Amino acid sequence: MSLAVAVAAAMFVAVLAYALFGGADFGSGYFDLTAGGSARGAELRTLIDHSIGPVWEANHVWLIFVLVTWWTAFPVSFAATMSTLFVPLVLALLGIVLRGASFAFRKYAATLGQAQLFGVVFAASSLITPFFLGTVAGAIASGRVPASGSGDLWSSWLNPTSVFGGVIAVGTCAFLAGVFLVSDADRNGHAALATQLRLRTLVVGVATGLVVFAALVPLEHDAPTLSAGLTGKAAPLIVLSGLTGAATLWLLVVRRFSVARLTALVAVASVVCGWGVGQYPWLLVDQVTIVDAAGATSTLVALLVAVGLAAVVVLPALAYLYWLTQSERWTEHPDEHPTAQTTRH
């Protein structure tokens, strides 16, 4: 494996982690948006707060990591992408800013009115970001970002592959979030909430699965290189995704929620990996390969040092954070809502 491919692989791992964990955080915006009025939705919104509160900032850093690796290792393609996909990137960024800020504001808002305002902004912007990042992925994967940049500002991301990419991103985020929230609700003893969430997650999951497989048809003409990859060397991953996706639905039906989290992660991860494998060895499909896009060799080596160091420093800490948030002590909410569980059984 060449240095450039090793760095690209590290970058792709970060894309994958962002899609899974950042995605689940964004997806909970969908459930927040559709939770109902303030009295009815209170329980779910509080649950969302507890689920993503401690982790969303850490999950968000994967995106930063992708960006900095990209511009350091593949500078020209980074500039090319930024100039071509200016519009969807700015809109995704807008979503990121509004989501993060209003989520924090809502938690400490003084009045219900303020909380509702921040809440709506939080929830709506949570949908914007995955959609536009999905269109960005679609644009790259369908060969619409010229290696020298300055591609068409609009048609580069307003096309079948991009739009499908956006819809699939929103759907998979919501699906992941749904599975995680069902499991959290169930574990925390919110039985009624878990039942309600379970139904909605099933609907989202079926719909998203249908879109993913429907997308394969237009992709054949719109993104031939990717399509050939998906139905060729990445086909096992797509099949795996279908199987684990179906398994997740079944596990939800039979209420095996905590196992469903695993299969859901695998289902989404294999779609994302399918995209990566499908477009390999291109960095910008049909335009420039990973190897040709790479910057100075000394920088690639230095980046791998940084990645290695980050793996040693960050991964254990991240595992500790996830472990803590899943542990018993954390599920009881000592200082915040001492009555939350007892009043709502």
107 lines the binding site for another protein (CB under 8 A): yes
Q: Which of ligand HEM, another protein, none does residue 103 bind to, with CB < 5 to 8 Å depending on kind?
A: another protein
DSSP H helices, the chain, are 3-17, 23-33, 38-52, 56-73, 75-84, 86-107, 112-141, 160-187, 191-222, 224-231, 235-253, 257-279, 290-293, 297-326, 328-331, 340-343
Binders of ligand HEM in range 24-83 (CB under 6 A): 57, 60-61, 64
Residue among 61 and 109 whose Cβ is closer to ligand HEM: 61
State how far the Cα of 272 lies from the Cα of 290, in Å rounded to an integer: 18
Binders of another protein in range 51-80 (CB under 8 A): 53-55, 57-58, 60-61, 63-65, 67-69, 71-76, 78-80
Binders of another protein in range 285-314 (CB under 8 A): 295-296, 298-299, 302-303, 306-307, 309-310, 313-314
332 lines the binding site for ligand HEM (CB under 6 A): no
State how far the Cα of 228 lies from the Cα of 213, in Å rounded to an integer: 14
State how far the Cα of 5 lies from the Cα of 10, in Å rounded to an integer: 9
Q: Which two tokens stand for residue 195?
A: 């039942």
Residue among 6 and 93 whose Cβ is closer to ligand HEM: 93
Q: Which of ligand HEM, another protein, none does residue 75 bind to, with CB < 5 to 8 Å depending on kind?
A: another protein
What string marks each residue from 154 to 193 as x (binds ligand HEM by CB under 6 A) or -? Answer: ----------------------------------------
304 lines the binding site for ligand HEM (CB under 6 A): no
3-state secondary structure of 289: strand
CB 41 within 8 A of CB 17: no
Q: Which of 8, 15, 20, 115 binds another protein (CB under 8 A)?
A: 115
State phi, psi for 285 to the nearest 5 degrees. -55, 135
> In the complex, which residues of this chain contact ligand HEM (CB under 6 A)?
57, 60-61, 64
